Chain A
Amino acid sequence: LSHPLHTQLSDRLHIKGGRIVNDDQSFYADVYLEDGLIKQIGENLIVPGGVKTIESHGRMVIPGGIDVNTYLQKPYHGTTTVDDFYQGTKAALAGGTTMIIDHVVPEPNQSLLTVFEKWHEAADNKSCCDYSLHVDITRWHEGVKEELEVLVQDKGINSFQVYMAYKDLYQMTDSQIYEAFTFLKGLGAVVQVHAENGDLIAQEQNKILSMGITGPEGHALSRPEELESEAVFRAITIANQVNCPVYISKVMSKSAADIIAQARKRGESVAFGEPITASLGTDGSHYWSKNWAKAAAFVTSPPLSPDPTTPDHLNALLACGDLQVTGSAHCAYSTAQKAIGKDNFTLIPEGTNGIEERMSIVWDKAVAVGKMDENQFVAVTSTNAAKIFNLYPRKGRIAVGSDADIVIWDPDKTNTISAKMQKSALEYNIFEGMECRGSPLIVISQGKIVSEDGNLHVHQGMGRFIPRKPFPEYVYQRIKTRNRVMALQGVSRGMYDGPVHEIPATPKYTTPAPSAKSSPAKNQPPPIRNLHQSNFSLSGAQIDDNIPRRSGHRIVAPPGGRSNITSLG
């Protein structure tokens, strides 16, 4: 290991008497850890002498949580979130999360690589748990492509986020999204989307402000959930067009989640949905709080839905597999920072807390009420994230050879969430007063006990950057197969040699882009010209053309084989 080891922590650990819970099964076994890796699993393990032993008394031993969405260094108008990589990862570990994936957010005019390095450095200095980085593409242009290649091939980044909201700032047009998806798919990356219709939000914000509504309720009123589901639908449509996987970050509403579930059921899309701690644990009715500071604390985008049945619905979809992973979207701005928008809700910096509470909230809202079993709990808090982002089975599983990131989970322990007790530097907590069943007893990160009975044993910079390779199987296996079977082919016809109407030279009524870009004469095998058999006839002999064919949307031709369609006539 490159980092100096903290001497108070033993390098070797023996967890005895626990019930190992992976995403596929649970079983009783002991676990032996050494050098940050799981070395042995089984009963009556032969371990060296002097090893520290943890008696888990039949409690659950689960893979450490992976928080796939954090913003621990997000700048806003010259200020930065109060939870940096140190504060944030401390909170993560306290909650049972042993790895985070943070978003790098360049300004639209900045180089992705430069900003990535900045984030990397900050995290290396401060992070207490393993981490990886998503890079947000805040502007689409030719130069970005090279940087993306470098990031994927040399820097260990395999996930990028694009924005459909934040008009005139981060927002991309449908054409740009199409190009970005096409390009990222070629690199084997996971395409993440912040899905909200930014054009309509801008219009609604104008309307709401002009009505004199300036408080945080305006945030929710100007971003109704329909605009979220619309964008989700559009993102999935575009992804299907280019046969690209799509990952919807921050699923906040029932309707958006339903769109994802439907798309997955249709089988055409490889789509993933990520609800966050806040959307699973609370709702948007608080935007109407008379306490401005409280209402502003809930401001995030897409906003929490004012529909109080939302958390239940999202937990149910998470339990049945329609939604796959959970993040926190932890982005902590103090009340004073939020107050930048005290006279105008559009200026309130966006973000809610949830990095520490994520695992407990999923347990309490889904497992403790009988929606979800413990294996699915592991899947949605850790395993699926590891699979999607190509970290599996190094992360997300208790198996020999995997990283020794392990949590001993107590399903019966009840905690009351309070800003006074939290590790975050925030002075509020949006889950204030919530009683949660289920919490970590012992957290082991890189083979070391980092949290025991609520006491943290961490130091800044002990976390490592975990590089990720492109083309995760979980995401790209189906895509690769589809690429092969979906080859399109033209119909080989005799050349049309009938009369052609003359038209004026100025082509006014066509789509200029395609005609400008490629000449139709290109790439085409010269058709055989047969004047006696031109296949062209005026009015008639079309009766027997109605041969039924299969009902797919795409007409595919088997590679190298004959197309069914071309034999139609």
Chain B
Amino acid sequence: MSYQGKKNIPRITSDRLLIKGGRIVNDDQSFYADIYMEDGLIKQIGDNLIVPGGVKIIEANGKMVIPGGIDIHTRLQMPYRGITAVDDFFQGSKAALAGGTTMIVDHVVPDPGASLLEAFERWKEWADEKVCCDYSLHLDITHWNDSVKQEIEVLVKEKGVNSFLVYMTYKDLYQMTSSELYEIFTFLGEFGAIVQVHAENGDIIAQEQARMLEMGITGPEGHVLSRPEELEAEAVFRAITIASQTNCPLYITKVMSKSAADIISQARKKGNVVFGEPISASLATDGTHYWSKNWAKAAAFVTSPPLSPDPTTPDYLNSLLASGDLSVTGSAHCTFSTAQKAIGKDDFTQIPEGINGIEERMSIIWDKAVVTGKMDENTFVAVTSTNAAKILNLYPRKGRIAVGSDSDLVIWDMDAIRTVTAKMHNSVAEYNVFEGMELHGAPSVVICQGKIVLEDGNLHITQGMGRFIPCTPFPDYAYKRLKTRRQMVVLRAVPRGMYDGPVSDFSSLSRGGTPAASARTSPTKQTAPIRNLHHSGFSLAGNPAHQGAPTEETPIRPAGRRIVVPPGGRSNITSLS
């Protein structure tokens, strides 16, 4: 697992580090202790550590020492219609480190019809060459067929990918039907992968876009008018329904509106395994800027789902993040220059989508949630790092300060105040959607792979120093409950005598009923029921009342939607009539 020997990394910083006098903050507790690191790993934690001589010592002076942030959603260097997002893996990961994020998870977006494996290798090559921090990759599934299934199997079993994104929008391009989603969820559930969903109703969006353009609305305000938050909430609801049917964990990327977040928290309360990811932009700003008279500014905010025009949204999402209803944060960092955005200057549907946020993410959450008293420092660690590590199955290697964990950590200065401006940021984009925002809390030292990469405001990095971190399937955090449920939920047929009464003549045209079902499965497949003519259980116009008054004999069952039969046990239901 060591980076050493992989590349020629100049020894800017020492290999051995001792952080003294810091307050270690994990997602479960905070305590004062020193930390000794060697070979990119945390070797000792405690007081009065015995360490080799000549070790570089960092005095934390009582500041917080937290696990490095994990940005679970980035789109660096993303290709779009022959152009590429201006922040590549170097620029993007540099910005990440400057903001206290020591690991990113980037999205691989294959063209529909193209090989997932090839796209994966291409992205990995791009990243290996340039990335400055550790990274993993999500795969976006942009089309669905049998060869995709094989590729997914390889990706999960051999390539270290455990999360896949499907789209419910971008009609006629990436969008999947409900049937396809059902199949994908079922398939990924079997492999122990995390199903991520871009949740928006693409059918209705296409209709609304056409309507807006017809009305002569061509500017960026058309983007948000054609994608009202109800369409996001609807898709979230549908995705949760499908995931629940297929007993598969679900991850909603880019939670942008209050109503979508509410659906997620309601579902979690009902017991669904679903995770929601708000992003830097939805936690800090809103969609009123789409009406800016400055076209370039308005276009800078174009992303999907769009920022909600409701200005109370960020506050609300921060609250749900603090309460645990939303689980992780990403940036969805995907920056296009103004000239690139201007491809859509006459038609908002042509504006390349994406906003910045990779550098600002940690400070935004500190400022909006912790400083305001919504969230404590431990939950801050959970939503910026630990929960992501758990979902990716990288915990406790990442996301925790513990002996044996990777030495990715940040000395966090909660009193620092920075003003966000495009002039100072590390991204190469010429705008910043958080322009002018004053944020409390910033990293004062960032340590990545046991090396100091940020100190006194100076970055010490080299292209390609980051490593690919393979993820393994079946993360406990998502799958433990589901495994238990899968054992519990066994559907059984009711053993009945065969029906031997009269049967109406009917035309064999399969007009009623679902043709798919009747075509695929022959009813004779079932185990032969015992035929007992004397005891058929069928009576015409008889006294069904004598067979037991149903209202009185109805056994009390839990109000769940699935009727479960305890493995091996008798069903309550079959003893009904």
A73 and B341 CA atoms in complex are apart in Å by 59
Contact with A along B508-528 (1 / 0, CB 8 A): 110111111110110111110
B547 (CB) vs chain A CBs: closest residue = A291
Q: Is the CB of B293 within 8 A of A513?
A: no
Q: Is the CB of A433 within 8 A of B550?
A: yes
Known: A200-B178, A306-B557. A237 touches B234 (CB 8 A): yes
Q: Which of B292, B294, B556 has the most CB of A within 10 A?
A: B294
Contact of A179 among B207, B291, B549 (CB under 8 A): B207
Q: Is the CB of B206 within 8 A of A175?
A: yes
Contact of B209 among A237, A514, A539 (CB under 8 A): A514
Contact of B294 among A179, A205, A282, A536 (CB under 8 A): A536
CB distance from A62 to the nearest CB of B (A): 26
CB distance from A78 to the nearest CB of B (A): 4
Q: Is the CB of A214 within 8 A of B523?
A: yes
Q: Is the CB of B541 within 8 A of A169?
A: no
Chain B hits for A308, CB < 8 A: 554, 556-557
Q: Is B505 an interface residue (CB 8 A)?
A: yes
Q: Is the CB of B496 within 8 A of A488?
A: no
A224 and B205 CA atoms in complex are apart in Å by 28
Contact with A along B225-254 (1 / 0, CB 8 A): 100111101100110011011000000000
A565 and B517 CA atoms in complex are apart in Å by 53
Q: Is B340 an interface residue (CB 8 A)?
A: yes
A566 and B228 CA atoms in complex are apart in Å by 19
Contact of A241 among B171, B218, B230, B311 (CB under 8 A): B230
Contact of A335 among B298, B436, B540, B561 (CB under 8 A): B540
CB distance from B288 to the nearest CB of A (A): 5
Interchain Cβ contacts under 8 Å between A and B, 19 examples = A199-B177, A206-B520, A215-B494, A226-B244, A233-B234, A286-B577, A288-B577, A306-B557, A307-B560, A339-B504, A340-B503, A342-B498, A496-B295, A507-B350, A514-B206, A522-B214, A524-B216, A542-B436, A555-B221
CB distance from A432 to the nearest CB of B (A): 4
Known: A286-B576, A491-B221, A511-B349. A346 touches B293 (CB 8 A): no
A205 and B539 CA atoms in complex are apart in Å by 28
Q: Is the CB of B215 within 8 A of A202?
A: no
Q: Is A114 an interface residue (CB 8 A)?
A: no
Q: Is the CB of A334 within 8 A of B228?
A: no
A502 and B200 CA atoms in complex are apart in Å by 29
B540 (CB) vs chain A CBs: closest residue = A427
B438 (CB) vs chain A CBs: closest residue = A543
B341 (CB) vs chain A CBs: closest residue = A501
Contact with B along A58-94 (1 / 0, CB 8 A): 0000000000000000001111000000000000000
Q: Is the CB of B538 within 8 A of A565?
A: no
Number of interface residues of B (CB under 8 A): 139
Contact with A along B550-577 (1 / 0, CB 8 A): 1100111101111100000001011011
Contact of B516 among A168, A221, A268, A289 (CB under 8 A): A168
Q: Is the CB of A178 within 8 A of B218?
A: no
Q: Is the CB of B342 within 8 A of A498?
A: yes
Chain B hits for A166, CB < 8 A: 514
Q: Is the CB of B514 within 8 A of A346?
A: yes
Q: Is B3 an interface residue (CB 8 A)?
A: no
Chain A hits for B515, CB < 8 A: 168-169
Q: Is the CB of B210 within 8 A of A347?
A: no
Q: Which of B208, B507, B555, B573 has the most CB of A within 10 A?
A: B573
A202 and B576 CA atoms in complex are apart in Å by 28
Q: Is B212 an interface residue (CB 8 A)?
A: yes
Known: A200-B182, A237-B230. A285 touches B216 (CB 8 A): no
Known: A215-B493, A514-B209, A551-B312. A343 touches B512 (CB 8 A): no
A517 (CB) vs chain B CBs: closest residue = B210
Q: Is B476 an interface residue (CB 8 A)?
A: no
Contact of B213 among A285, A493, A514, A551 (CB under 8 A): A514
Q: Is the CB of B343 within 8 A of A224?
A: no
Contact with B along A468-497 (1 / 0, CB 8 A): 000000000000000000001111111110
Q: Is the CB of A224 within 8 A of B346?
A: no
Q: Is the CB of B512 within 8 A of A77?
A: yes
Q: Supply 7 further A-B pairs (C-beta < 8 A) apart from A199-B177, A518-B210.
A: A175-B207, A292-B496, A491-B292, A498-B338, A510-B173, A515-B213, A542-B297
Known: A549-B288, A549-B311. A433 touches B516 (CB 8 A): no
Q: Is the CB of A203 within 8 A of B182?
A: yes
Q: Is B80 an interface residue (CB 8 A)?
A: yes
Report, nearest first, the 10 A-B pairs whose CB atoms are least far apart.
A543-B436, A523-B216, A433-B545, A539-B422, A288-B573, A78-B507, A174-B203, A427-B541, A289-B577, A199-B178
Q: Is the CB of A513 within 8 A of B210?
A: yes
Known: A211-B491, A511-B205. A551 touches B310 (CB 8 A): yes
Q: Is B50 an interface residue (CB 8 A)?
A: no
Q: Is B163 an interface residue (CB 8 A)?
A: no
Known: A294-B577, A518-B214, A548-B311. A503 touches B237 (CB 8 A): no
Chain A hits for B550, CB < 8 A: 282, 285-286, 432-433
Q: Is B179 an interface residue (CB 8 A)?
A: yes
Known: A501-B342, A539-B423. A293 touches B539 (CB 8 A): yes
Q: Is the CB of B179 within 8 A of A203?
A: yes
Known: A167-B514, A202-B514, A548-B311. A488 touches B294 (CB 8 A): no
Q: Is A149 an interface residue (CB 8 A)?
A: no
A268 and B234 CA atoms in complex are apart in Å by 14
Q: Is B296 an interface residue (CB 8 A)?
A: yes
Segment at the interface with A among B12-20, B153-161, B391-399, B427-435: B427-435
Contact with B along A217-248 (1 / 0, CB 8 A): 11011001111011001100110110000000
Contact with B along A340-360 (1 / 0, CB 8 A): 111110110100000000000
A500 and B516 CA atoms in complex are apart in Å by 50
A444 and B547 CA atoms in complex are apart in Å by 37
Q: Is the CB of B526 within 8 A of A553?
A: no
Q: Is B309 an interface residue (CB 8 A)?
A: yes
Chain B hits for A542, CB < 8 A: 297, 431, 435-436
Chain A hits for B298, CB < 8 A: 491
Q: Is the CB of B514 within 8 A of A496?
A: no
Q: Is A4 an interface residue (CB 8 A)?
A: no
Known: A535-B293, A555-B309. A173 touches B203 (CB 8 A): yes
Q: Is A499 an interface residue (CB 8 A)?
A: yes
Q: Is the CB of A212 within 8 A of B540?
A: no
Chain A hits for B431, CB < 8 A: 538-539, 542
A494 and B515 CA atoms in complex are apart in Å by 56
Q: In B385-430, which residues have CB < 8 Å from any A CB?
A: 421-423, 430
CB distance from A175 to the nearest CB of B (A): 4
A259 (CB) vs chain B CBs: closest residue = B237
Chain A hits for B231, CB < 8 A: 237, 241
Q: Is B502 an interface residue (CB 8 A)?
A: yes
Known: A224-B562, A538-B430. A209 touches B557 (CB 8 A): no
Contact with A along B192-213 (1 / 0, CB 8 A): 0000000001111111111011
CB distance from A367 to the nearest CB of B (A): 18
Contact of B203 among A178, A227, A428, A540 (CB under 8 A): A178
Known: A206-B517, A339-B499, A490-B222. A569 touches B293 (CB 8 A): yes
Q: Is the CB of B294 within 8 A of A342?
A: no
Chain A hits for B182, CB < 8 A: 199-200, 203
CB distance from B255 to the nearest CB of A (A): 16
A417 and B342 CA atoms in complex are apart in Å by 71
CB distance from A190 to the nearest CB of B (A): 21
Chain B hits for A111, CB < 8 A: none
CB distance from A205 to the nearest CB of B (A): 4
CB distance from B177 to the nearest CB of A (A): 6
Q: Is the CB of B342 within 8 A of A496?
A: yes
A555 and B540 CA atoms in complex are apart in Å by 62
A353 and B276 CA atoms in complex are apart in Å by 44
A289 and B549 CA atoms in complex are apart in Å by 12
Chain A hits for B509, CB < 8 A: 77-78
Chain A hits for B525, CB < 8 A: 209-210, 212
Q: Is B46 an interface residue (CB 8 A)?
A: no
